[in-house]
């Protein structure tokens, strides 16, 4: 163990923090007296001394440490709140030659991400979790955390945490030590020099376990957040020593690294062909092709009819087909009394740009399968818009828009199943769009149908026949 005191910036930090926006490039963003700054330095020193820097990925949580990647000259990812151990698992499983630190606050690890964390611990993933317990949500200005002490006042517990309302603070080390897989669990404090030296030793032990591929280590760092605890740095250290440590005792809760046989996991495969095959067969429709070059503008589509006519799946199918062409899509169903046989509708947007709102009011294409839907939504069809309707159920409308009609219900009945009327409509829809917006529609439809009904072969054939009937039977009314 290296006992030499070191000065200056460890080489695992960037010389200049160029990733940090604004003029300050030499200092960290942490408040004076914050435990994160101290721990960062301990980590950076250890990465150099243990020769881990080049293969290390540090996962920054949501919380005050979210910008850890400004400082560490290592691999780094910022992840959604609480998801650090899940992302760390992905990295370590996909590339077992890498090393990974899951760096987490008490809100991140103990509240929103508790399940992610416990499951990773229970699986015994080869990672080191650095858990910064400052008994508060630092980044968001001091709300109560799972580790807030009983009686501690925070922004959301102005009268102090109470056992009656919130229960006792979560003892994470004690909980994890009770699990079978973790090999090393220790609680330390970032307060006095003596405690910081103990923290340094614990951190290095956890990182060494990972380096030797022994499994899951957790180190909990009791830490100050002077700003939100409204204390000076000296007061916060005293508070940790006199209030936190009696409830969260320091020490090693488990250390079985040496006697445990590490869990062996299968080596991942990066055979390009196998990966593509796996992706394509599970997504099916992804084979459809490259990004559509022919979608010139945003298409806002409304599908409407009776509940039970397959309106929502019609819209879903259009959205899925757009998605498979790498077009941005949204699908917004309208539920409610419609589910009991009234009108049902859904809004679909296809766009090469970002979609501002999934609500379709000004409609480019209206697909109407019953009269009330036609009456309700036709006024929203923009000038130059397309109306496609089921002429079995709907009287010819008076409109100056482009109109296409198909006897969808009659055709579906003649094919033996009224429920394939939506596939007839899809065929008609493809014919309306031919050479206009989306190419290779038929190929995509067949793939989507095969995927949807993969366990009912007879429905695949029926829906494909319905699609072709609809395609061939659509009539233009006023183009
Ligand atoms: C999904 C999600 N929920 C909530 C938030 C808001 N949020 C940001 S940081 C934070 C709490 C961070 O507290 P902690 O994990 O203890 O980190 P600290 O800042 O104290 O180090 C919360 C709730 C968010 N960003 N994302
Ligand atoms: S708010 Fe608290 S946790 Fe966040 S940087 Fe400041 S002292 Fe540290
Ligand atoms: Mg916190």
Q: What distance in angstroms lies between residue 60's CA and the mean position of ligand 1's atoms?
A: 12
Q: Which residue's CA lies nearest to atom 8 of ligand 2?
A: 34
Q: Which residue's CA lies nearest to atom 12 of ligand 1?
A: 63
For the Cβ of 108 lying below 6 angstroms from any atom of ligand 1, the answer is: yes
In sequence order, what are the beta bridge partners of 334?
345
Q: What distance in angstroms lies between residue 32's CA and the mean position of ligand 3's atoms?
A: 16
String of DSSP letters for 91-106: HHHH-TTSEEEEEEEH
Residue that has been written with the tokens 């002429």 in this structure: 391
Residue that has been written with the tokens 């993969």 in this structure: 454
- Predicted pLDDT of residue 309: 81
CA-CA distance, 59 to 76, in Å (whole number)? 6
Q: Which residue's CA lies nearest to atom 5 of ligand 2?
A: 30
For the Cβ of 40 lying below 6 angstroms from any atom of ligand 2, the answer is: no
Q: Which of 210, 250, 256 is nearest to 58 (CA)?
A: 210
In sequence order, what are the beta bridge partners of 345?
304, 334
The answer to whether the pTM exceeds 0.85 is no
- Predicted pLDDT of residue 47: 98
**Cα angle, residue 208 at apex, residues 51 and 107 outer, rounded to 5°:** 105
325: exposed, middle or buried (C-beta count within 10 Å: 0-12, 13-18, 19+)? buried
Question: For residue 266, what is the DSSP state?
Answer: P
For the Cβ of 224 lying below 6 angstroms from any atom of ligand 1, the answer is: no
Q: Which residue's CA lies nearest to atom 2 of ligand 1?
A: 81
- Quick one: which ligand is closest to 110's CA? 1
Q: Which residue's CA lies nearest to atom 6 of ligand 2?
A: 31
Q: Checking DSSP bridges between strand 475-476 and strand 402-406, what pairing results, if any?
A: antiparallel
- Predicted pLDDT of residue 268: 86
For ligand 3, a single-atom ion, which residues have Cβ within 5 Å? Answer: 105-106, 134, 138
> Ligand 2, residues 154, 228, 233, 240: which to mutate, most atoms within 8 A of Cβ?
228
Q: Which residue's CA lies nearest to atom 2 of ligand 2?
A: 225
The answer to whether 332 and 358 have CB atoms below 8 angstroms apart is: yes
- Predicted pLDDT of residue 284: 37
For the Cβ of 441 lying below 6 angstroms from any atom of ligand 2, the answer is: no
For the Cβ of 34 lying below 6 angstroms from any atom of ligand 2, the answer is: yes
- Predicted pLDDT of residue 287: 37
> Ligand 2, residues 31, 40, 70, 71: which to mutate, most atoms within 8 A of Cβ?
31
For the Cβ of 113 lying below 6 angstroms from any atom of ligand 1, the answer is: no
Q: What distance in angstroms lies between residue 97's CA and the mean position of ligand 3's atoms?
A: 31
Q: What distance in angstroms lies between residue 306's CA and the mean position of ligand 1's atoms?
A: 45
In sequence order, what are the beta bridge partners of 402?
386
Q: Which residue's CA lies nearest to atom 4 of ligand 1?
A: 81
Residue 340's contacts (CB-CB under 8 Å, 6 or more residues apart) are 307
For the Cβ of 64 lying below 6 angstroms from any atom of ligand 2, the answer is: yes
For the Cβ of 431 lying below 6 angstroms from any atom of ligand 1, the answer is: no
Residuewise pLDDT in 10s, the chain (479 residues): 556 666 788 999 999 999 998 899 999 999 999 999 999 999 999 999 999 999 999 999 999 999 999 999 999 999 999 999 999 999 999 999 999 999 999 999 999 999 999 999 999 999 999 999 999 999 999 999 999 999 999 999 999 999 999 999 999 999 999 999 999 999 999 999 999 999 999 999 999 999 999 999 999 999 999 999 999 999 999 999 999 999 999 999 999 999 999 999 988 877 877 776 665 544 333 333 444 444 557 889 999 998 778 888 889 888 877 777 778 899 998 865 434 456 789 999 988 888 989 999 999 999 999 999 999 999 999 988 889 999 999 999 988 888 999 999 999 999 999 989 999 999 898 887 765 444 567 777 787 777 777 777 888 899 999 999 998 998 887 64
- Quick one: which ligand is closest to 136's CA? 3
Q: What distance in angstroms lies between residue 174's CA and the mean position of ligand 2's atoms?
A: 25
């Amino acid at each position: 163990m290296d006992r030499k005191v070191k000065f200056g910036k460890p080489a695992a930090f960037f010389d200049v923090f160029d990733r940090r926006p604004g003029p300050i490039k030499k200092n960290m963003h942490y408040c004076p007296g914050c435990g994160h700054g101290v721990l960062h330095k301990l980590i950076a020193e250890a990465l150099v001394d243990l020769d881990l820097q080049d293969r290390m990925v540090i996962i920054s949580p949501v919380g005050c440490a979210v910008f850890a990647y400004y400082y560490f000259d290592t691999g780094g990812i910022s992840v959604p709140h609480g998801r650090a151990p899940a992302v760390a698992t992905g990295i370590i499983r996909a590339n077992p030659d890498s090393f990974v630190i899951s760096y987490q606050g008490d809100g991140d690890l103990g509240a929103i991400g508790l399940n992610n964390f416990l499951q990773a611990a229970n699986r015994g993933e080869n990672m080191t979790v650095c858990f910064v317990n400052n008994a508060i949500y630092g980044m968001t200005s001091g709300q109560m955390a799972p580790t807030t002490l009983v009686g501690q006042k925070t922004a959301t517990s102005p009268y102090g945490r109470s056992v009656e309302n919130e229960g006792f603070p979560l003892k994470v080390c004690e909980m994890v030590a009770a699990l079978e897989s973790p090999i090393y669990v220790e609680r330390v404090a970032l307060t006095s020099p003596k405690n910081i030296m103990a923290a340094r030793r614990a951190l290095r032990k956890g990182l060494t376990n990972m380096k030797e591929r022994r499994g899951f280590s957790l180190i909990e760092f009791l830490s100050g957040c002077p700003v939100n605890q409204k204390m000076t740095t000296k007061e916060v250290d005293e508070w940790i020593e006199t209030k936190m440590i009696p409830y969260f005792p320091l020490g090693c809760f488990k250390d079985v690294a040496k006697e445990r046989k590490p869990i062996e996991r299968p080596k991942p495969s990066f055979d390009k062909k196998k990966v593509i095959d796996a992706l394509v067969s599970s997504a099916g429709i992804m084979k459809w092709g490259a990004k559509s070059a022919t979608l010139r503008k945003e298409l806002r589509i409304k599908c409407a009819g009776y509940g039970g006519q397959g309106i929502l799946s019609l819209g879903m199918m259009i959205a899925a087909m757009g998605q498979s062409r790498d077009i941005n899509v949204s699908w917004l169903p309208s539920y409610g009394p419609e589910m009991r046989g009234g009108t049902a509708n859904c809004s679909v947007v296809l766009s090469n740009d970002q979609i501002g709102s999934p609500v379709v009011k000004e409609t480019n294409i209206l697909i109407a399968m019953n009269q009330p839907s036609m009456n309700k939504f036709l006024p929203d069809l923009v000038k130059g818009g397309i109306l496609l309707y089921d002429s079995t159920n709907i009287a010819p409308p008076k409109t100056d828009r482009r109109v296409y009609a198909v006897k969808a219900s009659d055709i579906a009945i003649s094919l033996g199943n009224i429920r394939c009327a939506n596939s007839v409509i899809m065929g008609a829809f493809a014919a309306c769009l031919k050479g206009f917006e989306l190419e290779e529609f038929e190929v995509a439809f067949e793939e989507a149908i095969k995927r949807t009904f993969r366990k009912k072969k007879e429905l695949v054939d029926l829906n494909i026949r319905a699609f072709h009937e609809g395609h061939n039977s659509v009539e233009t009314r006023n183009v």
